Structure 1
Amino acid sequence: MSEIFDALRRWPDVEAPGLVAVDAADRLILDESAELRASAQPGDVAVINDAYGALTLGAAHAGADGIRAHLDAITGERALEANASRLGLADHFRIVPLDASLVSGARVVVLRLPRSLEALRDIAGLIAAHADADVVVVAGGRLKHMSVSMNTVLGEHFGQLDVSHARQKSRVLSARAPRDGRDPAPAAVRVAGLEVRAYGGAFAGARLDIGTRLLLENLPYVPVGGTPSDPLIDLACGTGIVGAWMATQYPGAHVYASDQSAIAVASARATMLANGIEDRVAVARDDMLGARPSASASFIALNPPFHSAAAVTDLIAPRMFTDVARVLRPGGQLWCVWNSGLRYRPLLERTIGPTEQVARNAKFTVTVSTRR
């Protein structure tokens, strides 16, 4: 198996020393599920929440075929495809949405535990509703990201739960006897005058985080753009709060919202539908703004993330600013909110153009950068 792991890359996600494509939790999950997978028939195995292909390709290399895999991040999905092509394993799996088709009839589910309990609840309910009655879920993660509450959540949908010994600061939970299955449904709350919908695991959930609140309080009342060919852009949209706010504040304006997370995109689409603005807000799953033409936008709003998979990193925002600079036409503006300690202003100046501070509170700064 080591030859598989040694070949894995994170690309097109950020790559840097300390950012790995496979870790001890992946290895433990594969070891703990090996016997179950050995007796599985084609189509019996589903992989959920893989990061860059370690679980899917590890299972494929060991003989599993017809694997159904779901990765939330589009960068992880593309990394899986690139790694599989390089290793000659592309024919052993297919990528499937997080719905009944992913786990229907599955007998072995290999799961990298999400950090969000609500995301785990959605996944566990889905498996219990649609997998084989004899399904075994082998779910693992790093101890620093696990809690006993995960046992409780799995216990809501499975009658038997076994806990492995810890190994290299990782652990596996094995769940059997599915019960009380249900399909995921988004949480709903009214914030900032909007009906917000959030599936488990979406950034900030069904609430308004303090950075986004500061951004909304300071966005200009009449932004440029807002036409079908030049929409207002909500980059890294999460549940779609900013995009929905712009669409409701500026009647008739068109908005383009994008995020790399499948959970975020599903949540944002549900938010737009709940507010009756789905005809004016296009929601796309994309790596930054890869699908947008260069020099095609006048207005972009952004609250940049600082997580790549489970790793905290300051390498994501620079890549996003570079893509923003590509997509903005001269004179176009980026309105950005960021943690003040990150000191992004010089980077914004270099990458995009003249940058002014618009607002600041105890933790966050809002700036506007104008494309040169």
Structure 2
Amino acid sequence: MTTPWGELELARFPDDPRDRLRAWDASDEYLLQHLAEREEEQGAGLSGTVVVVGDRWGALVTALAAQRPVQITDSFLAQEATRANLDRNSVETGTVHLLTTQDPPPDRIDVLLVRVPKSLALLEDQLLRLAPAVHEGTVVVGTGMVKEIHTSTLQLFERILGPTRTSLARKKARLIFCTPDPSLERPANRWPYSYALPDGIGAVSGRTVVNHAGVFCADRLDIGTRFFLRHLPAGRGARRVVDLGCGNGVVGTAMGLANPEAEVLFVDESFQAVASAEATYTANGVPGHAEFRVGDGLAGVPAGSVDLVLNNPPFHSHQATTDATAWRMFTGARRALRPGGELWVIGNRHLGYHIKLRRLFGNSHLVAGDPKFVVLRAVKR
């Protein structure tokens, strides 16, 4: 990546030589170019506390490392990519202060740079959490691809921080400029959001779900999960169960309620998701034992230590459609499962997960299906 301050070597995480997706895009380049032009005009660089929100793979904070920025991210993978990219470019990790969306933000923010997230709810939550630290002199610049910035995006900045305008598009990217107004009366933060589940979906019928902002389908139960809940494995044989890519944790909670003797491990790469899963599990008074882990799938889980893995894999990485995450999840599940252990997967029918499972496990069994979804079971031999 070419920046106004030199060349950077960047990669996504986990680093895969076959991955053709870059660790930055035109919106990152546009923001950095704007900051360099601003520095040239004013004869000085950024000063004070610099906070970068939503930096997807660490490209922004690596380029701005001389400013000792604070990075705030919901993604474990983004944090790991940032550490790797700082090391790759001979920047000490301590130069950048890494925070999650669940950590308290800095008390004062002098420069706020926002990489617009896919989730409008996550943007809303973060702006409301950061607003008390923003003052009249804070420099606020957002960035994103044109297709990611909508009228609703600009309205959030306007409603929470102050008057907002946009730049001209450049390489299909756009900047957002916001002038903070400390006197603005901000709305209350509605996150986390809770709702009661409908009847007819097994052990969690009528139970409570808690969602932090940014979790998939945070305001309702998505139809794929609803279908999965109706076809979860019955019986009490599984002692160690994993809700892999747990989201709000409703699937693992259902297993815990149906099988109180089981230990349930909730895993997701999203800090917001794992916080939601823990809140959902706690809200329903599940009698068994649970562990909540933010991480890269089942990395770190001992091989052969799991009886059952339940998985609804994502097929998007930000704006890119890819099966890389699903493949990593399936591979990690096979390693973690004991012989005879099972991986249960819910997916859109057209994704063809049965082919991947047969390649990896040597078998794939259809548990249930409808015109849109299939539930598949693979057994480790």
TM-score past 0.5 threshold: yes
- Return the match for 1:214 from 224, 227, 240: 227
**2:330 corresponds to which letter in structure 1?**
F
Is 1:82 equivalent to 2:84 in the alignment?
Answer: yes
**1:56 corresponds to which letter in structure 2?**
V
Match of 2:33 in 1: 31
Match of 1:127 in 2: 130
Matched residues in 1 for 2:17 and 2:292: separation? 27
Matched residues in 1 for 2:265 and 2:18: separation? 31
Is 1:2 equivalent to 2:7 in the alignment?
Answer: no
State the Cα distance separating 1:132 from its structure 2 match.
3.6
- Return the match for 1:40 from 35, 46, 62: 46
What are the Cα deviations for residues 309-336 of structure 1, in whole angstroms up to 9, with x where unaligned? 3321122211111111000010001111
Percent of residue pairs identical: 34
Instruction: Give matches, 1:105-144, under 5 Å.
Output: 105-144=108-147
Matched residues in 2 for 1:99 and 1:344: separation? 33
Matched residues in 2 for 1:216 and 1:19: separation? 34
**1:130 corresponds to which letter in structure 2?**
A
SS in structure 1 of the partner of residue 71 of structure 2: strand
**1:195 corresponds to which letter in structure 2?**
T
Instruction: Give matches, 1:241-260, under 5 Å.
Output: 241-260=250-269
**2:156 corresponds to which letter in structure 1?**
V
Matched residues in 1 for 2:316 and 2:359: separation? 23
State the Cα distance separating 1:184 from its structure 2 match.
7.0
Instruction: Give matches, 1:282-361, under 5 Å.
Output: 282-361=291-370
Matched residues in 1 for 2:31 and 2:187: separation? 23
What are the Cα deviations for residues 326-354 of structure 1, in whole angstroms up to 9, with x where unaligned? 00010001111111111111210221242
Instruction: Check the 8 A contact 2:102/2:271 in 1, yes or no.
Output: no
Matched residues in 2 for 1:279 and 1:39: separation? 54
Matched residues in 1 for 2:280 and 2:138: separation? 33
Matched residues in 2 for 1:176 and 1:253: separation? 52
SS in structure 2 of the partner of residue 123 of structure 1: helix
Choose between structure 1 and 2 for higher RCO, CA contacts under 8 A separated by at least 6 residues: 1
Report the CA distance shift for 1:150/1:305 in structure 2 as closer, same or farther (over 3 A): same
Matched residues in 1 for 2:325 and 2:280: separation? 26
Instruction: Check the 8 A contact 1:68/1:102 in 2, yes or no.
Output: no
Match of 2:202 in 1: none
- Return the match for 2:376 from 362, 367, 370: 367
Instruction: Check the 8 A contact 1:184/1:199 in 2, yes or no.
Output: no
Report the CA distance shift for 1:255/1:100 in structure 2 as closer, same or farther (over 3 A): closer
Match of 2:105 in 1: 102
Q: How many residues were matched structurally? A: 364
Is 1:21 equivalent to 2:8 in the alignment?
Answer: no
Gapped runs of 5+ residues in structure 2? 198-204
**2:206 corresponds to which letter in structure 1?**
G
Instruction: Check the 8 A contact 2:10/2:88 in 1, yes or no.
Output: no
What are the Cα deviations for residues 191-237 of structure 1, in whole angstroms up to 9, with x where unaligned? 143211112211121322111111111112214223xxxx2110000
- Return the match for 1:188 from 187, 190, 194: 194
SS in structure 2 of the partner of residue 107 of structure 1: strand
Matched residues in 2 for 1:5 and 1:314: separation? 30
Instruction: Check the 8 A contact 2:342/2:378 in 1, yes or no.
Output: yes
SS in structure 1 of the partner of residue 100 of structure 2: coil
Is 1:164 equivalent to 2:167 in the alignment?
Answer: yes
**2:29 corresponds to which letter in structure 1?**
R
State the Cα distance separating 1:163 from its structure 2 match.
1.2
SS in structure 1 of the partner of residue 208 of structure 2: strand
Matched residues in 2 for 1:234 and 1:77: separation? 22
Match of 2:57 in 1: 52
Is 1:202 equivalent to 2:204 in the alignment?
Answer: no
Task: Note the aligned Cα RMSD (angstroms).
Answer: 2.2
Q: Higher mean Cα deviation, 247-256 or 172-181?
A: 172-181
SS in structure 2 of the partner of residue 162 of structure 1: strand
Matched residues in 1 for 2:345 and 2:214: separation? 23
Gapped runs of 5+ residues in structure 1? none
Matched residues in 1 for 2:317 and 2:237: separation? 32
**1:78 corresponds to which letter in structure 2?**
E
**2:177 corresponds to which letter in structure 1?**
S
State the Cα distance separating 1:278 from its structure 2 match.
8.6
Report the CA distance shift for 1:283/1:206 in structure 2 as closer, same or farther (over 3 A): farther
Report the CA distance shift for 1:33/1:239 in structure 2 as closer, same or farther (over 3 A): farther
Q: Higher mean Cα deviation, 170-179 or 359-368?
A: 170-179
